[in-house]
Structure 1
Amino acid sequence: MWKTMFGCGAALAALAAGGAAWAQDRSAGSAASADDDSEIVVTAQKRSEKLSDVPVAVTAVSADQLQAAGAVTLRDLSASAPGLQIAGGIGSGSLTIRGITSGNDGNSTVGLQIDGAPVGPAAFGAAGGSYMPELDPSLLTQVEVLRGPQGTLYGSSTLGGIVNYVLKQPNLGETEGSFFAEGMTTRKGELGGTLRAMVNTPLATDRVALQIGGFGSALGGFVDNVAAGREDFNNRKSYGGRIALAAELTPDLRVTISDLYSRVESKQDLVVYNPATQRPAAGDLVNNDAVLPVYNSKLNMVALNVDADLHWATLSSITSYQNLDSRNLVDFTAARLGAIVVNFLPLYGGVTLPTPANPAVSVELGTDKITQELRLTSPDDGSFKWVVGLFYNHEKSQNAQVVSSYDENGRPRPGNLSPLVRYDLLTHYTEYAGFGNATWSPTPKLDITGGIRVQFIDQDYRQLYSGSDAAALNALFGDFGFSPTPADSGLAKDSDSVVTYLASVRYKFSPRSMVYARFATGFRPGGPNIIVPGLPTTFEPDTTYDYELGVKTSFWEGRGFFDLSLYNIDWKNIQILTIANGINGQTNGGSATSRGVEASLRLEPADGLTLSGSFAYSDAKLNETIPGGLGTKGDPMPMNPKWSGSLSADYEWPMGDAEGFVGASANFVGKRYSGFQSSLVYAQYVLPSYTLVNLRGGVRVDDWEFSLFVRNLGDERAQLGATTLASNLVAVQRPRTIGAAISKRF
């Protein structure tokens, strides 16, 4: 993996600002004032600013918080930010913010960034909505969640917001490192554990430093396949790391080059549920599908970051090369496509399948992506601040949907059983953009901000169609009056231009309190569909328009912080997943509106005691009926709870030369629909509300920390997401898990 590090040539990048949550950066008994440097710093507006000063709804979660919560996948982050949820039950699922989701989104509605570089495919041909990077907390400083459209500063696929991973940067001044080990046991499941390590060493003090970090995690399974005699089949392994070399070439010029690698190999946490009873169809934690659900993914990202202080401005360049691959396998025995392959295609000359037939669909995605951003940022002082930049993105992607006969372990059977039918959608996606953002402060208390981004998108694509049943499927289509699918569609092209806007007003009542009003837009690119009778050949971009009012205030001499946001998002020309003859595609529907309230509160009422809570109310509905029976006016948006919230309490106290700590957290998520409530295309499933409770406690001695934890204390069978493309597959929460951890910093 490291050999690709020096293959990325271009100049770039802004230093990613980091900051830990208040409780992690203070000794017990100290309270921060409103202008204390320990307050969280974020880069929401492409410059380093205190969280309490940013006129954007943003949550920052430190690496320490993620580690304490046992966060292993991005799914675990959903409890940390109001309005953030995980949609879908296949693969890792997909992120959604403020109800901006149609359920199983082909393209993501939430942008993903790593140190300012967009991650994951933007083209629908690469199914970016199913991709989420899984970065271990050992590699991170913090994760920033920006709620509401962010198209002006961050570009495409930011309809609902963005999630920005801020990585640890090499320390030029001193040698440091850390080690972490964790072991756990899951009720009705297997043992598991995690190892993490990081070392940072200056190669030339205050000039050059090297940082190397790595991790490995093995989570034991807890779902059985009784029919096949398989216990705890849904094991999950992940591993990876990062190497970064930073050099301060002059006092005004810093360069960082890095290579990040992450890999996941897993059977999915999916259980078949009965939609009428909302109970498991074959027993608690049982999935008797003939083919076990598989999800594997890989990310290799090489980045070159350059910051040059020009004194009148900072020139930043952020360059990245990414290689992403994933495979998602789901049994289709109970689906319409499975019945066609088994019962009908042999009548048209197709392959007669053995018993058991085990038809399944494997979605295999691959993307090579290059991004480049050049940005000039004015100094932070003065009454006029600005950011201007240019952006370039080029992707080469392949989306293969492969229908085959598989054994129970997900291996395709040889010969003419694999592939039975194969669709390959090959896409080239190129995006050019220019953007600017300016803030004028006519008085020390009043700020007015405006921004614009102009983007041009070019795509070319072609589809290949093959397989031992390809001719038989075309013959079947012919009997229903459909044109046959060509073996090669030939090259087609599509172009779009999109303009996004931003305007906000902020008024500071005092150095500790402010109110803001914000208008922002976001968009998601259109693109090509797989050529299947019943699907449109292309679909159009969709856009969101956000009207927001927010308040942030620090009080009680810095021991309290409160923020509140009210929003109304209009979503136009919605992109919606549809299905034709068992193959997934995209179409455009009508419009929807999401209205809601989000709030969070943090208190330090006594030395060492931190209390925090958040809640979100989101009312997201279709404004008009979607043609083709996909949804009806008034239907709630899928996978969006009206109510969600969290509570936590942490207490630290001195114990002689040591320090003790305990903590508890609870996360509530309300009822959700797996799809549009009145859909005639997809079967409906209602996911019930749930509450998860976690406990932890331990002791710190010098640079060592020892802790015990219980996750999912109530052994709740929380249903996190669902898909009804085949059987009713529900992603379930890991049962009660008890474990211990040890770590050291030096």
Structure 2
Amino acid sequence: MASTLPGKLRLGLATALMSSMFAWSAGASAQEGVAVRDTAGPAPIVVTAQRREQVLTEVPQAVQALGGEELQDLGVDQIEDVISLVPSATIGSTISVGSNVFQIRGVAAAETDGDPTIGFYLDNFAFSLPGRPYAPAVDFYDLDRVEVLRGPSGTLYGLGSLGGTIKVLSNNPDLYDTAMSARMTANITDGGEPGGSADVMINVPLAEGTVALRGVASYKTVGGFADNIATGKEDSNDANAFNGRLKLRAEPTDNLMIQLAVWHNRSNQDFSNRITLFDPPILDQTFGIANSRFTLITGDIEYDLGFATLMSTTGYIKNRVVVNNGGFIPGIGDFASFWPLVTKNFNEDLRLASNGTGPLTWIVGFFYQDGSTEGGQSVDLPDFPVGGQLGLATFNDNRLESKSWAVYGDATYGFADGLVDVTVGGRYYEEKRRFDENSSITLTEAGVTVPTVGVDRAKNNTFNPRFNVSIHPAENGMIYGEVAKGFRSGAITSSSIIAGANGALGTNFDNSSPPDTLWNYEAGIKWSFGGVDVALSGYYFDWKDAQIELSPTLQSIVVPVGDIEGKGIDAQISWRTPFSGLSIQAAGNINKTEIKSVIPEVSAALPWLSEGRQLPGTAKRTASIAANYVAPVGNDWDLRISGRYSYRSRQQSVFNGVYAPWNGIGSVRVGFARDDFEVSLFSDNVGNSGRPISRPGGQNQVPYPRTIGIALEKKF
């Protein structure tokens, strides 16, 4: 593909600019504050990317922040839409509405197995599922902001932050004011079923200024659009999801805060997001479900000691995913797959952060995690020939346990009255893993079962340093450079599955993989002038023993296939135009993630995994543009027009080397609003793109077709 943007992309960008306007970066607030909203001019964006409150433009890292009201203006109610606006970030896989895998800057994770390469935080809790790369499904109603850190952030965030970190931060209870809001939407999908959603938020001070409760509930139905030729059912992949969130906050004294929270999600989908054909969208499975749910309970305590603030985040999560499907595979015959997973995880993050602004600021912390994942994929192939007889069945009910602890610290010293800031940080991490295998292979017609029962153990330890220097030649700009190391625990795979894969590939993989490590070298600039904010960063990373998910048989393995080298440029521009109420933002990335070395047997069997090739699952280019226009129309009403367009170049499937073509998706929103009420019309995927987002497992994961709807919101 040529390095210039396709003509359709240029047309799409122009159309998005002319037909719709959307503001992205005006107004995310600190977690402890209230979202800032200022359509007339620049507003400070305060983030906690470095585990302390800082203005976004003063953070010497590649960070993006989107405020809750900006997300609502855009009509963004899921993390996938946020990812489409982040330079270098793409969707790797989405099995269902509750199982998402993302990558940033070409540091791609596996699609179903192995630990993630991107850390995911709900408020201050690390959402981590041992041995699984999934991020949760979270409704975006009543959020404070979303932060996306690009590049390794393992010093301060640890688990899964090899290539970056995503933080979803919800609004805290308001201790003084009673408030309520409700929103309803209704929509219709092109060629599919109708859908809709209902959201409500209630905030009640229980003791004014001291104790308050805030609750949020959301329910969404998503209309199906793929016809199933095996069952004859039209629009068969419909889904629904419930999200609930409850927070109790107490500030009994000026220096003490205690907050308890409960998050709950339940997502159900018929079949999955993976379809057989995409033009038109067709399923050929005889049965299928893709359900997930999680419950998270957290407790946060903050105590101001004067010289520093002591903070503790304690949490427990139980996550359940069930993916069952069956159908017909040419050359193999009928198949049925059953995949239940249950994950439990307890986290404690204790940290002490200095108060004041310097010249020395610091944070030290201790982290502990105790988690397990139980389950596995079982496959039944009744017509598969083995030794002249028919029938093969595999069974997996395995358990992975992970216990880890870490100590970390980060300190910044300002020289020459803040002209130069030097940051040094590090994290020491130890982990023990235990894998209890209970699997079997059955030759159905022969009536022979070969069981595999055993225990594998692994120990991991690492030190992840971070070095950062930032120069502030003017109040409105900075130049920075950073060197940081990322780390991911090694995967442990069933011995029977590894044996089958080794036989198919001619390799000699062990079922326990070594950890992979990544060194990232980055330089960037942030500058503001004349209503324009610019952020540029260039990076290079060296990724050793990269763990990649392969599927040489019908079941997947995660193994270290070799070394990866990546380089690229991120760019973000935000322009508060001279035209009153109009702001525009654009972002883009050029990325080359290249296989530097690979095990010869792997490249021989899977030629798309060869030296010099772009790593499958990663895109060479991403871009987005967004704009917003707000104009008063009288009687306290405003006209609001917003829109966005995102582009991703083609990317290859790691399973079979098939390319998902380039894709561009746009959305528009037009409405009228006043302080307590808003009505708007919207269209998502306005161009009705049906091109696959990715092609996992030889199937097609496609965006939802054009969806047109109406949204109503009332605040009390």
Structures share a fold, TM > 0.5? Answer: yes
- Name the SS for the 1:668 alignment partner: strand
Letter in 2 for 1:397: T
- Name the SS for the 1:567 alignment partner: strand
Assess if the C-alpha contact under 8 Å between 2:471 and 2:478 holds in 1. Answer: yes
Structure 1: 4+ residue segments shifted above 4 A? 17-20, 417-420, 466-475
Say whether residues 1:269 and 2:247 are aligned partners. no
Once residues 332 and 500 of structure 1 are traced to their aligned partners in structure 2, the CA distance between those partners, rounded to angstroms, is 46
TM-score, with structure 1 as normaliser: 0.85
Q: CA deviation at 1:103?
A: 5.4
Give the match for residue 19 of structure 2.
Answer: none
Q: CA deviation at 1:330?
A: 4.2
Q: Residues 327 and 419 of structure 1: is their aligned pair in 2 closer, same or farther, counting only changes over 3 Å? A: farther
Identity %: 28
Once residues 170 and 244 of structure 2 are traced to their aligned partners in structure 1, the CA distance between those partners, rounded to angstroms, is 12
Assess if the C-alpha contact under 8 Å between 1:589 and 1:627 holds in 2. Answer: no
Letter in 2 for 1:582: L
Once residues 145 and 424 of structure 1 are traced to their aligned partners in structure 2, the CA distance between those partners, rounded to angstroms, is 35
- Name stretches of at least 5 consecutive residues in structure 1 with no aligned partner: 1-14, 33-37, 274-279, 343-357, 407-416, 476-483, 676-681
Give the match for residue 379 of structure 2.
Answer: 403
Once residues 460 and 640 of structure 1 are traced to their aligned partners in structure 2, the CA distance between those partners, rounded to angstroms, is 31
Once residues 595 and 174 of structure 1 are traced to their aligned partners in structure 2, the CA distance between those partners, rounded to angstroms, is 49
Q: Residues 470 and 48 of structure 1: is their aligned pair in 2 closer, same or farther, counting only changes over 3 Å? A: farther
Alignment of 1:225-374 (within 5 A): 225-267=228-270, 268-273=272-277, 280=278, 284-292=280-288, 294-331=289-326, 333-334=328-329, 339=332, 358-374=334-350
Give the match for residue 164 of structure 1.
Answer: 167
Assess if the C-alpha contact under 8 Å between 2:149 and 2:165 holds in 1. Answer: yes
Assess if the C-alpha contact under 8 Å between 1:156 and 1:522 holds in 2. Answer: no
2:475 to 499, 502, 511: 511
Q: Residues 394 and 688 of structure 1: is their aligned pair in 2 closer, same or farther, counting only changes over 3 Å? A: same
Assess if the C-alpha contact under 8 Å between 1:245 and 1:257 holds in 2. Answer: yes
Once residues 721 and 361 of structure 1 are traced to their aligned partners in structure 2, the CA distance between those partners, rounded to angstroms, is 21
Once residues 432 and 408 of structure 2 are traced to their aligned partners in structure 1, the CA distance between those partners, rounded to angstroms, is 18
Give the match for residue 25 of structure 1.
Answer: 37
Alignment of 1:469-484 (within 5 A): 469=443
Once residues 592 and 405 of structure 1 are traced to their aligned partners in structure 2, the CA distance between those partners, rounded to angstroms, is 36
Once residues 52 and 494 of structure 2 are traced to their aligned partners in structure 1, the CA distance between those partners, rounded to angstroms, is 41
Assess if the C-alpha contact under 8 Å between 2:110 and 2:558 holds in 1. Answer: no
1:526 to 486, 490, 500: 490
Once residues 432 and 659 of structure 1 are traced to their aligned partners in structure 2, the CA distance between those partners, rounded to angstroms, is 52
Q: Residues 669 and 73 of structure 1: is their aligned pair in 2 closer, same or farther, counting only changes over 3 Å? A: same
Letter in 2 for 1:114: L
Q: What's the RMSD between the two structures over aligned residues?
A: 2.2
1:57-101 Cα shifts (integer Å, max 9, x gaps) = 011122223333333432222222111111135344411000111
Q: Residues 334 and 512 of structure 1: is their aligned pair in 2 closer, same or farther, counting only changes over 3 Å? A: same
Once residues 634 and 670 of structure 1 are traced to their aligned partners in structure 2, the CA distance between those partners, rounded to angstroms, is 18
Give the match for residue 602 of structure 1.
Answer: 574
- Name the SS for the 1:394 alignment partner: strand
Assess if the C-alpha contact under 8 Å between 2:126 and 2:159 holds in 1. Answer: no
Once residues 683 and 520 of structure 2 are traced to their aligned partners in structure 1, the CA distance between those partners, rounded to angstroms, is 39
Letter in 2 for 1:508: H
1:588 to 537, 545, 560: 560
1:472-521 Cα shifts (integer Å, max 9, x gaps) = 6977xxxxxxxx542x21x3322111110110001112111001001111
Letter in 2 for 1:506: S
1:445-483 Cα shifts (integer Å, max 9, x gaps) = 1100010100010111211125865896977xxxxxxxx
Say whether residues 1:613 and 2:586 are aligned partners. yes
Give the match for residue 103 of structure 2.
Answer: 96
Alignment of 1:104-143 (within 5 A): 104=111, 106-121=114-129, 123-124=130-131, 128-129=132-133, 131-143=134-146
1:263-310 Cα shifts (integer Å, max 9, x gaps) = 11013233224xxxxxx4xx5111223334x32111100000000000
Once residues 72 and 463 of structure 1 are traced to their aligned partners in structure 2, the CA distance between those partners, rounded to angstroms, is 39
TM-score, with structure 2 as normaliser: 0.88
Q: CA deviation at 1:659?
A: 0.9
Q: CA deviation at 1:553?
A: 1.2
Alignment of 1:501-650 (within 5 A): 501-532=465-496, 533=499, 534=502, 536-556=510-530, 559-579=531-551, 581-605=553-577, 606-629=579-602, 630=606, 631-650=609-628
Please say which of residues 654-663 and 622-631 is displaced more in the overlay: 622-631
Say whether residues 1:16 and 2:31 are aligned partners. yes
Once residues 319 and 289 of structure 1 are traced to their aligned partners in structure 2, the CA distance between those partners, rounded to angstroms, is 42
Q: Residues 427 and 419 of structure 1: is their aligned pair in 2 closer, same or farther, counting only changes over 3 Å? A: farther
Alignment of 1:450-461 (within 5 A): 450-461=424-435
Letter in 1 for 2:517: T
Q: Residues 418 and 250 of structure 1: is their aligned pair in 2 closer, same or farther, counting only changes over 3 Å? A: farther
Once residues 185 and 718 of structure 1 are traced to their aligned partners in structure 2, the CA distance between those partners, rounded to angstroms, is 20
Say whether residues 1:666 and 2:645 are aligned partners. yes
Q: CA deviation at 1:582?
A: 2.6
Letter in 2 for 1:231: E
Once residues 625 and 648 of structure 1 are traced to their aligned partners in structure 2, the CA distance between those partners, rounded to angstroms, is 40
Assess if the C-alpha contact under 8 Å between 1:17 and 1:41 holds in 2. Answer: no
1:221-279 Cα shifts (integer Å, max 9, x gaps) = 01101332110011010002111110002110000001110111013233224xxxxxx
Give the match for residue 499 of structure 1.
Answer: 463
Give the match for residue 144 of structure 1.
Answer: 147
Q: CA deviation at 1:362?
A: 2.2
Give the match for residue 633 of structure 2.
Answer: 655
- Name the SS for the 2:227 alignment partner: coil
Q: CA deviation at 1:562?
A: 1.0
Give the match for residue 734 of structure 1.
Answer: 704
1:546-565 Cα shifts (integer Å, max 9, x gaps) = 10011111221xx2211111
- Name the SS for the 1:138 alignment partner: coil
Once residues 89 and 118 of structure 1 are traced to their aligned partners in structure 2, the CA distance between those partners, rounded to angstroms, is 20
Once residues 327 and 405 of structure 1 are traced to their aligned partners in structure 2, the CA distance between those partners, rounded to angstroms, is 20
Assess if the C-alpha contact under 8 Å between 2:88 and 2:621 holds in 1. Answer: no
Once residues 590 and 666 of structure 1 are traced to their aligned partners in structure 2, the CA distance between those partners, rounded to angstroms, is 36
1:398-449 Cα shifts (integer Å, max 9, x gaps) = 032122479xxxxxxxxxx999431112121001100010001112211000
Please say which of residues 531-540 and 494-503 is displaced more in the overlay: 531-540
Q: CA deviation at 1:610?
A: 0.8
Assess if the C-alpha contact under 8 Å between 1:613 and 1:647 holds in 2. Answer: yes
Give the match for residue 711 of structure 1.
Answer: 684
- Name the SS for the 2:156 alignment partner: helix
Give the match for residue 386 of structure 2.
Answer: none
Q: Residues 138 and 705 of structure 1: is their aligned pair in 2 closer, same or farther, counting only changes over 3 Å? A: same
1:31-68 Cα shifts (integer Å, max 9, x gaps) = 23xxxxx4111111100111100011011122223333
Alignment of 1:385-404 (within 5 A): 385-404=361-380
Assess if the C-alpha contact under 8 Å between 1:89 and 1:721 holds in 2. Answer: no
Q: CA deviation at 1:335?
A: 7.4
Alignment of 1:171-190 (within 5 A): 171-190=174-193
Q: CA deviation at 1:718?
A: 2.9
Once residues 128 and 204 of structure 2 are traced to their aligned partners in structure 1, the CA distance between those partners, rounded to angstroms, is 31
Assess if the C-alpha contact under 8 Å between 2:633 and 2:639 holds in 1. Answer: yes
Once residues 160 and 391 of structure 2 are traced to their aligned partners in structure 1, the CA distance between those partners, rounded to angstroms, is 35
